[in-house]
Chain A
Amino acid sequence: MSSHDRPLSPHLQVHRLVFTMLLSGLHRISGLALSAASLLLVAWLVAAACGPDAYATAMRWLSGLPARLVLAAALGAFWYHLFNGLRHMAWDAGFGFGKAASLRSGWAIVALTAVAFMLTLAQAWRYFGAWP
């Protein structure tokens, strides 16, 4: 199939931004963020496999403020993509279509993401605080 001949989508500029649309876009953005984070995970594993010196170098780099912000963003993306992915699963199974239901489930996953993010960030703070 020549998928490169297909029209490009979505044409964001012709739509007025609505809540469910924002959530849909965030699913993509969080997915891409997690793709980048998975490369970070692989780099971390390679450093560990290379030995203590390489691992120490990786951890020195990961404990910098930019890396901490990136990891915190990845944590938020993890929860958002997980909960919104469950929402997509429900849609695939035929549940929760319709304006009211999708608005309600949208607010529900925003709340769940906020709670899960706060709790795990608090737990991760142990490391954030302990890093030099």
Chain B
Amino acid sequence: MNAAAPSGTPTPRPDPHARRHWRNQRLSAIALLPLGIWFLYMLLTLPALDYAAVTFWISEPLQALLLLLFSWCALWHSALGVQVVIEDYVAGRLYAPTALLLQLMHWAAAIAAGWSIWVLAAGGT
């Protein structure tokens, strides 16, 4: 008899979207570990925070690339994290527009960061 066998509904396969979210949150976290420490180190060891020092820093191609990677990973990780928070605290019909608004904000910030770093890497305005 199969009375001893596990009964009830079979274990469902996790939702692929949820699995991707879980994996991406950890991927971006792992990327942010060195990138975040690099960014803070650079920020705290610049000779000054004036226009000349900051634009000189970002005009170096490798520094611009790392800054771009850091900004995008941070915004990616932020978008994933914020989504979990609103899933927990925003109910009913407010959920969808709130989620959309926050997604758009993150996309806008990512585009703005990309544009700025591109301009600064090309030698400033």
A interface, CB within 8 angstroms of B: 1, 3-4, 6, 8-10, 28, 31-32, 34-35, 38-39, 41-42, 45-46, 48-52, 55-56, 59, 75, 78, 82, 85-86, 89, 92, 120, 123-124, 126-127, 130-131
Contacts and interface: CB of A to CB of B under 8 A. Distances in A.
Nearest to B55: A48
Interface centre among A45, A52, A127 (most CB of B within 10 A): A45
17 contacts: A3-B95, A4-B91, A4-B92, A4-B96, A31-B78, A34-B74, A38-B109, A42-B71, A48-B54, A48-B120, A49-B119, A49-B125, A52-B51, A55-B54, A86-B33, A127-B49, A131-B49
Q: Number of contact residues on B: which range applies?
A: 35 or more
Contact of A46 (B36, B90, B116): B116
B71 A3 contact: no
B48 A4 contact: no
Contact of A42 (B85, B87, B109): B109
A80 B76 CA distance: 19
Contacts of A9: 88
Given A41-B113, A89-B30, A120-B44, 16 more contacts: A1-B17, A8-B88, A10-B88, A31-B81, A34-B78, A38-B109, A39-B109, A41-B71, A45-B112, A46-B112, A49-B115, A49-B120, A55-B54, A56-B51, A75-B40, A131-B49
Contacts, number: 102
Interface in B92-118: 92-93, 95-96, 105, 109, 112-113, 115-117
Contacts of B71: 38, 41-42, 45
Contact of A92 (B26, B85, B109): B26
Contacts of A10: 88
B52 to A, nearest CB: 9
Nearest to A79: B40
Given A32-B85, A123-B44, A45 B117 contact: yes
